[in-house]
Amino acid sequence: MANSEIGMFGWCDLLSTDAKGAVGFYTKVFSWTSENVPSPSGGTYHFMKLGNKTVGGMVTQHKTPAIKHSIWQSYFLVEDIKLVAAKAEKVGGKVVDAPYEIGEFGYSAMIQDPTGANFNLWQSKAGPRAEKYCEEKAGSFCWTELLTKNTDVAGKFYCDLFDWTPETMKVADHLPPYTIFKKDGIPSCGMLAIQKEMGDIPSHWLPYVFVDNCDDTLHKARQAGGHEVMPTTEIPTIGKFAVFKDTQGAVLACMSK
Protein backbone atom coordinates (compact mmCIF):
# COMPACT_ATOMS: atom_id res chain seq x y z
CA MET A 1 0.00 0.00 0.00
CA ALA A 2 1.32 3.39 -0.94
CA ASN A 3 2.05 5.71 1.97
CA SER A 4 -0.41 8.24 0.53
CA GLU A 5 -3.27 5.83 1.27
CA ILE A 6 -2.52 5.34 4.95
CA GLY A 7 -5.07 7.02 7.20
CA MET A 8 -7.47 7.74 4.35
CA PHE A 9 -11.12 6.74 3.94
CA GLY A 10 -10.76 3.78 1.62
CA TRP A 11 -13.76 1.44 1.72
CA CYS A 12 -17.44 1.37 2.59
CA ASP A 13 -19.82 -1.53 3.05
CA LEU A 14 -23.29 -2.23 4.35
CA LEU A 15 -23.66 -4.52 7.36
CA SER A 16 -27.17 -5.63 6.60
CA THR A 17 -30.12 -7.49 8.07
CA ASP A 18 -30.83 -8.71 4.51
CA ALA A 19 -28.04 -8.09 2.02
CA LYS A 20 -29.96 -9.57 -0.91
CA GLY A 21 -32.83 -7.17 -0.26
CA ALA A 22 -30.37 -4.28 0.11
CA VAL A 23 -28.82 -5.09 -3.27
CA GLY A 24 -32.29 -4.85 -4.80
CA PHE A 25 -32.82 -1.43 -3.23
CA TYR A 26 -29.49 0.19 -4.07
CA THR A 27 -29.29 -1.05 -7.65
CA LYS A 28 -32.52 0.91 -8.21
CA VAL A 29 -31.10 4.07 -6.60
CA PHE A 30 -27.61 4.05 -8.12
CA SER A 31 -26.11 2.62 -11.32
CA TRP A 32 -24.65 -0.29 -9.39
CA THR A 33 -24.47 -3.96 -10.25
CA SER A 34 -23.69 -6.81 -7.88
CA GLU A 35 -20.85 -9.33 -8.02
CA ASN A 36 -21.32 -12.07 -5.43
CA VAL A 37 -18.55 -14.06 -3.75
CA PRO A 38 -18.56 -16.43 -0.75
CA SER A 39 -17.91 -14.53 2.48
CA PRO A 40 -15.13 -15.93 4.71
CA SER A 41 -17.47 -15.36 7.67
CA GLY A 42 -20.30 -17.27 6.03
CA GLY A 43 -22.97 -16.44 3.48
CA THR A 44 -22.38 -14.17 0.50
CA TYR A 45 -20.50 -10.91 0.14
CA HIS A 46 -21.95 -8.64 -2.53
CA PHE A 47 -19.37 -6.41 -4.22
CA MET A 48 -21.11 -3.37 -5.67
CA LYS A 49 -19.76 -2.37 -9.05
CA LEU A 50 -19.93 0.86 -11.01
CA GLY A 51 -18.89 -0.32 -14.44
CA ASN A 52 -15.56 -2.05 -13.84
CA LYS A 53 -14.89 -0.23 -10.56
CA THR A 54 -15.72 -1.86 -7.23
CA VAL A 55 -17.26 0.89 -5.11
CA GLY A 56 -18.46 -0.93 -1.99
CA GLY A 57 -19.94 -4.06 -0.52
CA MET A 58 -22.91 -5.57 1.29
CA VAL A 59 -23.12 -8.52 3.62
CA THR A 60 -25.77 -10.02 5.90
CA GLN A 61 -24.70 -9.99 9.53
CA HIS A 62 -24.63 -13.46 11.09
CA LYS A 63 -23.04 -12.63 14.44
CA THR A 64 -24.88 -12.34 17.73
CA PRO A 65 -26.26 -10.16 19.09
CA ALA A 66 -27.99 -9.28 15.84
CA ILE A 67 -28.00 -5.68 14.67
CA LYS A 68 -31.33 -3.84 14.99
CA HIS A 69 -31.02 -2.26 11.56
CA SER A 70 -28.55 -2.15 8.68
CA ILE A 71 -25.49 0.11 9.01
CA TRP A 72 -23.14 1.64 6.47
CA GLN A 73 -19.56 1.15 7.70
CA SER A 74 -16.63 3.46 6.93
CA TYR A 75 -13.15 1.93 6.69
CA PHE A 76 -9.81 3.68 7.09
CA LEU A 77 -6.67 2.23 5.54
CA VAL A 78 -3.78 1.23 7.78
CA GLU A 79 -0.41 -0.41 7.33
CA ASP A 80 -0.33 -2.43 10.58
CA ILE A 81 -3.83 -3.17 11.82
CA LYS A 82 -2.79 -4.78 15.10
CA LEU A 83 -0.64 -1.79 15.97
CA VAL A 84 -3.40 0.72 15.16
CA ALA A 85 -6.05 -1.27 17.05
CA ALA A 86 -3.82 -1.35 20.13
CA LYS A 87 -3.15 2.37 19.77
CA ALA A 88 -6.89 3.05 19.57
CA GLU A 89 -7.35 1.66 23.07
CA LYS A 90 -4.42 3.69 24.39
CA VAL A 91 -5.90 6.97 23.12
CA GLY A 92 -9.41 6.35 24.47
CA GLY A 93 -11.16 4.04 22.03
CA LYS A 94 -12.51 0.52 22.37
CA VAL A 95 -11.83 -2.50 20.18
CA VAL A 96 -15.24 -3.92 19.24
CA ASP A 97 -13.92 -6.58 16.84
CA ALA A 98 -10.23 -7.46 17.15
CA PRO A 99 -8.24 -7.68 13.90
CA TYR A 100 -9.21 -10.74 11.87
CA GLU A 101 -8.36 -12.08 8.44
CA ILE A 102 -10.81 -11.85 5.55
CA GLY A 103 -9.67 -14.49 3.10
CA GLU A 104 -7.29 -13.38 0.39
CA PHE A 105 -8.28 -9.73 0.70
CA GLY A 106 -6.81 -8.47 3.97
CA TYR A 107 -7.55 -7.80 7.63
CA SER A 108 -10.37 -5.90 9.30
CA ALA A 109 -11.14 -4.56 12.78
CA MET A 110 -13.94 -2.51 14.29
CA ILE A 111 -13.18 0.31 16.73
CA GLN A 112 -15.49 2.49 18.81
CA ASP A 113 -14.39 6.06 19.44
CA PRO A 114 -14.82 7.77 22.86
CA THR A 115 -18.13 9.32 21.74
CA GLY A 116 -19.66 5.98 20.75
CA ALA A 117 -19.20 5.99 16.96
CA ASN A 118 -18.02 2.75 15.37
CA PHE A 119 -15.61 2.69 12.43
CA ASN A 120 -13.44 0.08 10.75
CA LEU A 121 -9.77 -0.41 10.00
CA TRP A 122 -8.60 -2.15 6.86
CA GLN A 123 -5.17 -3.59 6.05
CA SER A 124 -5.01 -4.83 2.48
CA LYS A 125 -2.98 -7.81 1.32
CA ALA A 126 -2.77 -6.27 -2.14
CA GLY A 127 -0.57 -3.44 -3.29
CA PRO A 128 -1.65 0.13 -4.01
CA ARG A 129 -4.86 0.48 -6.00
CA ALA A 130 -4.64 1.64 -9.59
CA GLU A 131 -7.57 4.03 -9.12
CA LYS A 132 -8.75 6.43 -6.44
CA TYR A 133 -11.46 5.18 -4.10
CA CYS A 134 -13.17 8.51 -3.42
CA GLU A 135 -14.23 10.24 -6.62
CA GLU A 136 -16.65 12.94 -7.68
CA LYS A 137 -18.15 10.53 -10.19
CA ALA A 138 -21.82 9.59 -10.12
CA GLY A 139 -22.21 6.34 -8.17
CA SER A 140 -18.84 6.51 -6.37
CA PHE A 141 -18.35 7.11 -2.67
CA CYS A 142 -16.84 10.56 -2.37
CA TRP A 143 -16.69 11.36 1.37
CA THR A 144 -17.48 10.23 4.89
CA GLU A 145 -18.09 12.33 7.98
CA LEU A 146 -18.42 11.85 11.69
CA LEU A 147 -21.57 13.14 13.35
CA THR A 148 -20.70 13.31 17.02
CA LYS A 149 -21.99 14.58 20.35
CA ASN A 150 -18.53 15.83 21.35
CA THR A 151 -16.30 17.24 18.62
CA ASP A 152 -13.45 18.10 21.02
CA VAL A 153 -13.13 14.57 22.39
CA ALA A 154 -13.65 12.91 19.01
CA GLY A 155 -11.28 15.25 17.20
CA LYS A 156 -8.43 14.62 19.63
CA PHE A 157 -8.98 10.85 19.44
CA TYR A 158 -8.83 10.61 15.66
CA CYS A 159 -5.91 13.02 15.31
CA ASP A 160 -3.95 11.02 17.90
CA LEU A 161 -4.85 7.74 16.19
CA PHE A 162 -4.32 8.58 12.52
CA ASP A 163 -2.03 11.61 12.79
CA TRP A 164 -4.67 13.74 11.11
CA THR A 165 -4.59 17.53 11.09
CA PRO A 166 -7.95 19.23 11.77
CA GLU A 167 -9.09 22.26 9.81
CA THR A 168 -12.31 23.83 11.12
CA MET A 169 -14.26 26.28 9.00
CA LYS A 170 -17.53 28.18 8.92
CA VAL A 171 -19.13 27.43 5.56
CA ALA A 172 -22.19 29.66 6.12
CA ASP A 173 -23.74 31.80 8.86
CA HIS A 174 -26.73 29.47 9.22
CA LEU A 175 -24.60 26.30 9.38
CA PRO A 176 -22.49 25.00 12.30
CA PRO A 177 -18.67 24.85 12.07
CA TYR A 178 -17.36 21.96 9.98
CA THR A 179 -14.03 20.19 10.52
CA ILE A 180 -12.04 18.56 7.75
CA PHE A 181 -9.43 16.01 8.78
CA LYS A 182 -6.35 16.00 6.57
CA LYS A 183 -3.58 13.46 6.23
CA ASP A 184 -0.36 14.97 4.89
CA GLY A 185 -2.39 17.90 3.60
CA ILE A 186 -4.95 15.73 1.78
CA PRO A 187 -8.58 15.73 3.01
CA SER A 188 -9.60 12.31 4.34
CA CYS A 189 -12.99 12.92 5.98
CA GLY A 190 -15.04 15.40 7.99
CA MET A 191 -16.68 15.99 11.37
CA LEU A 192 -19.81 17.81 12.46
CA ALA A 193 -21.46 18.24 15.85
CA ILE A 194 -24.89 16.62 16.10
CA GLN A 195 -27.50 19.40 16.02
CA LYS A 196 -30.73 19.54 18.03
CA GLU A 197 -32.83 19.36 14.88
CA MET A 198 -31.24 15.99 14.06
CA GLY A 199 -32.96 14.46 17.08
CA ASP A 200 -31.55 12.13 19.71
CA ILE A 201 -29.22 10.17 17.46
CA PRO A 202 -25.99 8.43 18.49
CA SER A 203 -22.56 9.45 17.23
CA HIS A 204 -21.92 7.72 13.91
CA TRP A 205 -20.07 7.88 10.60
CA LEU A 206 -22.11 8.91 7.55
CA PRO A 207 -20.73 8.09 4.08
CA TYR A 208 -21.61 10.05 0.92
CA VAL A 209 -22.18 8.86 -2.64
CA PHE A 210 -21.62 11.37 -5.43
CA VAL A 211 -24.63 11.82 -7.73
CA ASP A 212 -25.66 13.99 -10.66
CA ASN A 213 -28.76 15.30 -8.89
CA CYS A 214 -29.70 14.90 -5.21
CA ASP A 215 -33.42 15.45 -5.81
CA ASP A 216 -33.47 12.68 -8.41
CA THR A 217 -31.64 10.35 -6.02
CA LEU A 218 -34.12 11.04 -3.22
CA HIS A 219 -36.96 10.32 -5.64
CA LYS A 220 -35.39 6.99 -6.64
CA ALA A 221 -34.87 6.09 -2.97
CA ARG A 222 -38.53 6.81 -2.19
CA GLN A 223 -39.68 4.85 -5.23
CA ALA A 224 -37.59 1.88 -4.05
CA GLY A 225 -39.21 1.97 -0.59
CA GLY A 226 -36.82 4.20 1.35
CA HIS A 227 -37.57 7.60 2.82
CA GLU A 228 -36.05 11.05 3.07
CA VAL A 229 -34.12 12.00 6.21
CA MET A 230 -32.91 15.40 5.03
CA PRO A 231 -34.01 17.22 1.86
CA THR A 232 -31.55 18.56 -0.67
CA THR A 233 -29.56 21.31 1.03
CA GLU A 234 -27.04 23.66 -0.55
CA ILE A 235 -23.62 24.27 1.00
CA PRO A 236 -22.10 27.50 -0.34
CA THR A 237 -19.05 27.00 -2.61
CA ILE A 238 -19.21 23.21 -2.13
CA GLY A 239 -22.41 21.79 -3.59
CA LYS A 240 -25.62 20.11 -2.48
CA PHE A 241 -26.34 17.13 -0.27
CA ALA A 242 -29.28 15.06 0.92
CA VAL A 243 -29.77 12.13 3.28
CA PHE A 244 -32.08 9.13 2.99
CA LYS A 245 -32.80 5.89 4.82
CA ASP A 246 -33.08 2.54 3.03
CA THR A 247 -35.72 -0.14 3.57
CA GLN A 248 -33.67 -1.73 6.37
CA GLY A 249 -32.93 1.43 8.33
CA ALA A 250 -29.43 2.24 7.05
CA VAL A 251 -28.74 5.96 6.56
CA LEU A 252 -26.74 7.21 3.57
CA ALA A 253 -25.97 10.65 2.17
CA CYS A 254 -25.57 11.80 -1.40
CA MET A 255 -23.75 14.84 -2.78
CA SER A 256 -23.78 16.74 -6.05
CA LYS A 257 -22.25 19.88 -7.49
Q: Are 218 and 105 in the same domain?
A: no
Q: Are 35 and 109 in the same domain?
A: yes
Structural domain boundaries, residue 102: 3-124
| 3-class DSSP state of 102 | strand
Looking at residue 39, its pLDDT comes to 86
Distance, CA of 176 to chain centre: 21
The Cα–Cα gap between 117 and 153 comes to 12
Residue 132 resides in a domain:
no
Q: Are 110 and 74 in the same domain?
A: yes
- What CATH number is attached to the domain comprising 198? 3.10.180.10
Q: Are 210 and 247 in the same domain?
A: yes
Give 185-200 pLDDT, tens digit per residue: 999 999 999 999 899 9
What does the DSSP assignment read for 121-164?
A: EEEESS---SS-SS-SSTTSEEEEEEEES-HHHHHHHHHHHH--
Write the Ramachandran bin of 83: left for phi over 0, alpha for psi from -120 to 50, otherwise beta.
alpha
Q: Which of 225, 219, 216, 223 is nearest to 246 (CA)?
A: 225
The domain tally of the chain equals 2
Residue 135 resides in a domain:
no
Q: Where a domain ends, among 79, 97, 124? A: 124
One digit per residue, pLDDT tens: the chain, 257 residues? 445 788 999 999 999 999 999 999 999 999 999 999 998 777 899 999 999 999 999 999 877 566 788 999 999 999 999 999 999 999 999 999 999 999 889 999 999 999 999 999 999 998 666 578 999 999 999 999 999 999 999 999 999 999 999 999 988 777 789 999 999 999 999 999 999 989 999 999 999 999 999 999 999 999 999 999 999 999 988 999 999 999 999 999 999 99
Residue 183 resides in a domain:
yes
Q: Where a domain ends, among 67, 95, 124? A: 124
Q: What phi and psi values does residue 90 have, to the nearest 5 degrees?
A: -65, -30
Q: Where a domain ends, among 91, 124, 157? A: 124
Looking at residue 1, its pLDDT comes to 42
Q: Are 42 and 100 in the same domain?
A: yes
